[in-house]
């Protein structure tokens, strides 16, 4: 091989990346061995046609170069033009990869939050406080929709509130009678609903034993969290496919994606809280078979059985899930200086304003005092 002059590399085209071409050249003279390389390409190749078409055409029409018909085009200017075209392609691909990374970082930030919460759930032996916080948030959402803050008693939608309480918690409460009481306030109605719901859930825990009920809570929370997260990833993928069209409206697709992805994430958490609360409210355990069942519509008393989960040692996972969850309203983009954009914050979570205090000791306490 060395006596014949070494390895001769013939390239049929130039790659979009100079790195690939350089690797081929390196093969010709690997580790100092003799060799040579030659690249042949057409002026109609995409690399030349798209990124160097006009300049190449002007170069070919230049009589000073002295090119003849059918002659191979070989000139230092053409080689430099090729390198510049490759540089443009590499720069374009770099910008595309950088943009993809920015979009992926939005999803990755949400993934870190979900995985951290899931890890805490997996390591926790008792999810009673977490489930109770979810239940309280859902109750506050339902009451605030039917009894807006500052509204008069005549403006309260007690029928809608009664229907929602029956749908989510399976409780039929005399809300209309409560609303007719003299001097009744929305906070008092909220407190009565929470007491009735807490009593029902406490009776369930006693009926099935606290140990079994803790395992049921953990199983249901994990299942619904995983299901909600998978659906959220699918929705983000659909959003991602068409978000670049916002550029036609003079809007930054990345900023639009961040805002909508955050709103979708908050909506997912709201629906998750409602799903967990509703599922735990209707789930029943068959003591003999060790299976879970759930009545989706308590008025019809329809029960659906679910499969056994061996990992729960006799405590199954539920497959029946409420499919009549009401849609939550969309929200504005998050702004730490505007509490209206925060959504519902858990009482023990850090306050979004950045004070470092818990929400219940910061803006949560301010909101309660203002309501009183």
Contact 6, 36 (CB under 8 A): yes
Q: 20-29, 139-148, 307-316: which has the minimum mean pLDDT?
A: 307-316
Assess contact for 183 and 277: CB atoms under 8 A.
no
Give the lowest-confidence range in 45-59, 113-127, 225-239: 45-59
Q: Copy the structure tokens of residue 194.
A: 């929470």
Instruction: Measure the CA–CA gap between 372 and 264, rounded to whole angstroms.
Output: 32
Which residue bears the tokens 């489930």?
131
DSSP 72-109: ----HHHHHHHHHHHHHHHHHHHHHHHHHHHHHHHHHH
pLDDT per position as a tens digit, 239-265: 988 888 888 888 888 889 999 999 999
Asked whether residue 159 carries a pLDDT value surpassing 60, the answer given is yes
The token pair that represents 179 in the structure block: 């609303």
Beta carbons of 138 and 168 less than 8 angstroms apart = yes
DSSP annotation string for 104-164: HHHHHHHHHHHHHHHHHHHH-S--HHHHHHHHHHHHHHHHHHHS-TT--GGG--HHHHHHH
Exposed, middle or buried, 121 (CB in 10 Å: 0-12/13-18/19+)? middle
Q: Between 295 and 302, whose confidence is greater? A: 295
Choose between 46 and 196: higher pLDDT: 196
- pLDDT 10s digits, 352-364: 887 878 777 787 7
Question: Using one digit for the tens of pLDDT, what is the confidence trace for 279-291?
Answer: 999 988 876 655 6
Give all strands of the β-sheet with 283-286 in edge-to-edge order: 283-286, 291-295, 303-305
The pLDDT-based confidence of 320 (bands split at 50, 70, 90) is very low
pLDDT at 116: 92
Average pLDDT, the chain: 77
Cα angle at 300 between 295 and 301, to 5 degrees?
A: 40
How far is Cα 261 from Cα 61, in angstroms, rounded to an integer? 53
Token reading at 174: 């005399």
CB burial class (10 A; 0-12, 13-18, 19+) of residue 281? buried
Residue of 82, 5, 2 whose CA lies nearest to 37: 5
In sequence order, the 6+-apart residues with CB closer than 8 A to the CB of 284 are 292, 293, 294, 295, 303
pLDDT of residue 262: 92
Reading the block at residue 343, the tokens are 């959504």
Where residue 57 falls among pLDDT bands split at 50, 70, 90?
low
Q: State the maximum Cα–Cα separation within the chain, in Å, rounded to a whole number.
A: 109
d(CA 251, CA 248): 7
More confident residue, 359 or 189: 189
Q: How confident is the model at residue 54 (pLDDT cuts 50, 70, 90)?
A: low
**Is residue 323 over pLDDT 80?**
no
Only one residue has tokens 């019809």, namely 300
Q: What is the pLDDT of residue 35?
A: 80
DSSP E strands: which ranges in the chain? 7-11, 35-39, 283-286, 291-295, 303-305
């Amino acid at each position: 091989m060395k006596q014949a002059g070494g390895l001769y590399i013939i390239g049929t085209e130039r790659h979009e990346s100079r790195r690939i071409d350089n690797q081929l050249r390196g093969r010709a003279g690997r580790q100092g061995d003799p060799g040579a390389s030659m690249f042949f390409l057409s002026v109609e190749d995409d690399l030349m046609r798209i990124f160097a078409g006009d300049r190449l055409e002007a170069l070919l029409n230049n009589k000073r170069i002295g090119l003849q018909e059918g002659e191979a085009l070989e000139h230092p200017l053409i080689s430099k033009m090729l390198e510049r075209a490759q540089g443009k392609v590499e720069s374009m691909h770099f910008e595309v990869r950088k943009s993809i990374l920015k979009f992926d970082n939005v999803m990755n930030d949400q993934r870190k939050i979900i995985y951290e919460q899931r890890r805490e759930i997996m390591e926790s032996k008792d999810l009673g406080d977490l489930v109770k916080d979810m239940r309280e948030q859902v109750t506050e959402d339902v009451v605030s929709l039917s009894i807006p803050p500052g509204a008069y008693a005549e403006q309260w939608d007690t029928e809608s509130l009664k229907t929602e309480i029956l749908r989510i918690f399976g409780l039929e409460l005399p809300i209309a009678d409560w609303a007719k009481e003299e001097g009744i306030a929305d906070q008092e109605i909220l407190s009565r609903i929470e007491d009735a719901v807490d009593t029902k859930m406490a009776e369930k825990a006693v009926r099935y034993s606290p140990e079994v009920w803790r395992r049921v809570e953990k199983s249901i929370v994990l299942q619904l969290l995983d299901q909600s997260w998978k659906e959220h990833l699918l929705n983000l993928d659909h959003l991602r496919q068409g978000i670049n069209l916002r550029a036609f409206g003079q809007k930054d697709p990345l900023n639009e994606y961040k805002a909508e992805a955050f709103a979708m994430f908050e909506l997912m958490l709201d629906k998750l809280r409602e799903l967990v609360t509703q599922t735990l409210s209707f789930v029943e355990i068959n003591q003999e078979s060790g299976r879970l069942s759930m009545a989706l519509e308590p008025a019809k008393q329809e029960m659906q059985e679910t499969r056994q989960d061996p990992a729960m040692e006799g405590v199954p996972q539920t497959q029946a899930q409420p499919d009549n969850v009401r849609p939550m309203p969309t929200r504005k983009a998050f702004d730490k200086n505007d509490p209206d954009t925060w959504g519902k914050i858990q009482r023990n979570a850090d306050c979004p304003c950045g004070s470092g205090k818990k929400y219940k000791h910061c803006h949560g306490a301010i909101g309660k005092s203002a309501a009183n």
